[in-house]
Amino acid sequence: MTAFRMPAEWSAHEGCLMAWPVRQDLWGGVLDDVKEEYANVARAIAAFEPVTMVAPPGHGEEARTRCGEAITVVELAQDDSWFRDSAPLFVLDGAGNRAGVDFRFNAWGRKHSPYDSDDRISGLLLEHLGVERIPSDMILEGGAITVDGEGTLITTEQCLLHPNRNPGMNRDEIETELKSQLGVDKVVWLPYGGLLDTETDGHVDGVCAFAAPGKVVVALPDDPAHPDHARMRANRAVLEATTDAQGRPFEIIDVPQTAVVGIAGGEVEVSYLNFYVANGGVVVPVAGVPQDDDALAVIAAAYPGRKVVGVRAPAIAYGGGGVHCITQQIPAVPATA
């Protein structure tokens, strides 16, 4: 039996999964804005690959109307709308087989309730897709990891070692489960996620992402007085001092960390690192400010040959995430001889 491995996000996709937001108690006065942003993200990704929007029962027609004909809509029970974290993590083997790892989900350390439907949504999605389910008892969100598809996984200590996730597991046990379920050989532990990322306790997808084997894009605020500047420097130092699973030193590309934009009577930070890599494209959350162009140019250089598209996402940022947080890729199964 050939072992399963989680492919890199830039590998070929069969499509993208998203979840339609509906809960007034979670989104408050920005719910209508966030629906529009989800629809815009879905349409942007659909220019590159098929998108399936999963809506709670009774909300499918609204999702169809707002997203348009290019988006496939299905109805399944769910609580929230962050499929990077509640959807399955798909893995492939070398024999043309695909499976989905169904990790447990506890709403980022029980920050919201209910979350029992989101804990079950991975299994429902895999059943709907006809994909083999691989269960794991470990709590893990997809936004907490980034992989290169060649044996390396990067995560943050701030999130994965937080006592509100897996208090009965130590670092070695967590690392062993990651290696076993996702087919990785080396785990690189960055100390920090974003200081203001209190919703997820510092997911890696706001501060670091693989762009290619041996190449990472990392968040680095331009202002040394920014509260995350020293923390991101510490992350960078870890990457500079280690290698990937193949023994390669990391090429490190700095991306402006965030843009600040006003919404709902306050301000939020939009993370440029929280993007989605699609077939032939990269869909990036932007704030509608001049510095967006600088960030998009850096990301375009990091992903040559892909069209980079910015989508305004301040309402999604208000909810604690970005484009990456609300999407989950379904990797294509390579043809076998």
8 belongs to a structural domain:
no
For residue 261, the model assigns a pLDDT of 82
Residue 336 reports pLDDT greater than 70: no
247 CB-near residues (< 8 Å, 6+ apart): none
CA atoms within 13 A on the CB side of 290: 0
Q: What is the CATH number of the domain that holds 327?
A: 3.75.10.10
What is the set of active-site residues? Answer: 325
171 belongs to a structural domain:
yes
Give the model's confidence band at 267: pLDDT under 50 very low, under 70 low, under 90 confident, else very high. confident
7 belongs to a structural domain:
no
User: Which whole-number Å values give the CA distances from 327 to 35, 186, 240, 260, 277, in the listed order?
Assistant: 14, 25, 30, 22, 10
Residue 132 reports pLDDT greater than 60: yes
Minimum mean pLDDT range among 18-32, 258-272, 289-303: 258-272
Residue 1 reports pLDDT greater than 50: no
Residue 61 reports pLDDT greater than 70: yes
Q: What is the mean pLDDT of residues 116-126?
A: 98
Q: What is the mean pLDDT of residues 300-329?
A: 97
For residue 221, the model assigns a pLDDT of 84
Q: 78 — phi, psi (to 5°)?
A: -155, 165
Residue 2 reports pLDDT greater than 80: no
Q: Which domain holds residue 266?
A: 13-331
Tokens of 199: 């919703």
pLDDT in tens, 152-206: 999 999 999 999 999 999 999 999 999 999 999 999 999 999 888 889 999 999 9
Calculate the average pLDDT of the chain.
95
130 belongs to a structural domain:
yes
**How far apart are the two ends of the chain, measured CA to CA in Å?**
17
Report the DSSP beta bridge partners of residue 330: 15
For residue 262, the model assigns a pLDDT of 82
* CA atoms of 237 and 274, how far apart (whole Å): 21
284 belongs to a structural domain:
yes
337 belongs to a structural domain:
no
Residue 75 reports pLDDT greater than 50: yes
4 belongs to a structural domain:
no
Residue 337 reports pLDDT greater than 70: no
Question: Is residue 156 helix, strand or coil?
Answer: strand
Q: Which tops the pLDDT comparison, 260 or 15?
A: 15
For residue 227, the model assigns a pLDDT of 85
65 CB-near residues (< 8 Å, 6+ apart): none
Number of domains in the chain: 1
2 belongs to a structural domain:
no
For residue 173, the model assigns a pLDDT of 98
